[in-house]
Amino acid sequence: MADEKLILVVDDDPDLVESLSMKLESENYRVVKAYDGIEAWERIKEETPDLVLLDVMMPRKNGYDVCDEIKNDPQYKNITVLLLTAVADAVPDTSYTHMDGKTTLADDFIPKPIDLDRLMEIVKEQFE
Amino acid sequence: MGSVLPAGGAAIPIMYPDKLPDARNAKMPSHPQPVRIDGIKLSDALVLVDFKGRSASTEPFSCFFRRLRQNRINLSFITTRSFGGRFHIACCTASEDESRLRALLTPGTDFQGSASVTTDVGLVSLFPHQSDFQLPGICLSALAAASIPVYGFATSLSAFIVVTDYRRLDAAVAAIKTHVDLPRGYAPMKPEFRIKQTVPGKGGS
């Protein structure tokens, strides 16, 4: 059930975090927020979310590195990671992709600018 | 003072430099409890362009935004207001885009006016404001008490944003931090990259 799922929203744009959180909460998801990669990892350890919406380009630690840490940690590797990226055209595949020569283990990606309805569909699909 | 409607945000009054009260005798009022925020974000050095003019069109801002899009200029901050056929646009962009932005503001058939530029400004964004109007009050009072100039401010969906001197960003943060409650050990976010628009097929990202 959607209302049992906890989603971590990570982006260095506070307005995007707020708008995504509002949308997710309106769909009865629980939401925690982080504004950079370091903070994201702290929230993951504190809250163990079911899904992470993870921006790629962030200060301190980028989304690729956070994704790698999640997926290579036995305790957290089952957390679903959806990358939020403005360069989605460069992503040829979804579950195991290469972008700018970088391998990512993200479960899927969502292109920016974000279509909120499409985002909700993708999030919902992850829990089905 | 006039009212401002920042893109995607709530309307709050804004004060312009020529109308700011003398901050030299400002005292920080006491607030019973610091306002809780999650973070502070700082910008790179920017230029602030103030464009005041008259428009024959009822949509001077549409014209301005169309020119921005055509010229692929990113803005870090913008406020607009219009009244009685006059309008005022205050916006911040990267220093390297200053000349392109000024050229874009060249009076034309659609609007006429004059632009003034303030160099080396920076943005301090506090988030989330949670629609708590204590935060702008506390922030502006703290900056006034520390004699730090405020060239403009606005709210967005989540953030309260102040335009001040780039060279005094750290002092601005220090002044504000004593009156807000941040996570333990928090350090403000500083820019590590800048997003530029490029023409497809001509390189860049």
User: In percent, how much of chain B has pLDDT > 90?
Assistant: 40
- pLDDT value at residue B199: 59
**Complex ipTM, two decimals?**
0.78
Cis link prior to B128 (omega < 30° from 0)? yes
Give yes or no for a contact between B52 and B113, defined as CB atoms under 8 angstroms apart.
yes
The fold of the A2-126 domain, in CATH, is Rossmann fold (3.40.50)
Nearest to B5 by CA among B18, B50, B14, B135: B14
**Closest CB from B128, B190, B195 relative to A14:** B128
- pLDDT value at residue B122: 97
Tell which wins on pLDDT, B18 or A12. A12
User: How buried is residue B165: exposed, middle or buried, by Cβ count under 10 Å (0-12/13-18/19+)?
Assistant: middle
Residues 6+ apart with CB under 8 A from B50: B16, B88, B89, B90, B115, B116, B117, B118
The domains of chain B, with CATH numbers, are 2-44+120-181 (3.30.70.260), 48-118 (3.30.70.260)
CA B73 to CA B162: how far, in whole Å? 21
Q: If residue B102 lies in a helix (H) or strand (E), which one and from where to where?
A: helix B98-104
Q: Does the pLDDT of residue B44 top 70, yes or no? A: yes
- pLDDT value at residue B196: 66
Joined together, the tokens standing for residue B176 give 């504000």
- Band of residue B23 on the pLDDT scale cut at 50, 70, 90: low
Residues of chain A in contact with residue B195, where contact means CB-CB under 8 angstroms, are 57, 86
A14 and B193: CB-CB below 8 Å?
A: no
- pLDDT value at residue A85: 81
Tell which wins on pLDDT, B77 or B32. B77
Q: Does the pLDDT of residue A2 top 90, yes or no? A: no
Q: Rounded to 5 degrees, what angle do the CA atoms B28, B32, B33 make?
A: 100
β-pair partners for B182 = none
- Termini Cα distance of chain B: 40
Average pLDDT over chain B reads 80
Residues 6+ apart with CB under 8 A from B73: B93, B97, B100, B101, B104, B197
**Alpha-carbon distances of A110 from A39, A71, B79, B181, rounded to whole Å:** 21, 18, 30, 33
Q: Does the pLDDT of residue B191 top 60, yes or no? A: yes
B189 and A60: CB-CB below 8 Å?
A: yes
Q: If residue A110 lies in a helix (H) or strand (E), which one and from where to where?
A: strand A108-111
Joined together, the tokens standing for residue B70 give 């055509």
Q: Does the pLDDT of residue B21 top 70, yes or no? A: no
Nearest residue on chain A to B185, judged by CA atoms?
A39
Tell which wins on pLDDT, A75 or B103. A75
Residues 6+ apart with CB under 8 A from B176: B40, B124, B126, B138, B139, B142, B143
pLDDT tens, residue by residue, B126-162: 999 988 889 999 999 999 999 999 999 999 999 999 9
Tell which wins on pLDDT, B21 or A56. A56
Q: Hey, is A122 helix, strand or coil?
A: helix
- pLDDT value at residue B198: 63
How far A128 CA lies from chain B's nearest CA (Å)? 31
Q: B193 and chain A: CB distance < 8 Å anywhere?
A: yes
Give yes or no for a contact between B85 and B104, defined as CB atoms under 8 angstroms apart.
no
DSSP A4-16: G-EEEEE-S-HHH
Give the start-to-end residue ranges of the domains of chain A. 2-126
- Band of residue B98 on the pLDDT scale cut at 50, 70, 90: confident
Q: Does the pLDDT of residue B10 top 50, yes or no? A: no
pLDDT tens, residue by residue, A52-95: 999 988 888 888 889 989 999 999 999 999 998 875 554 444 43
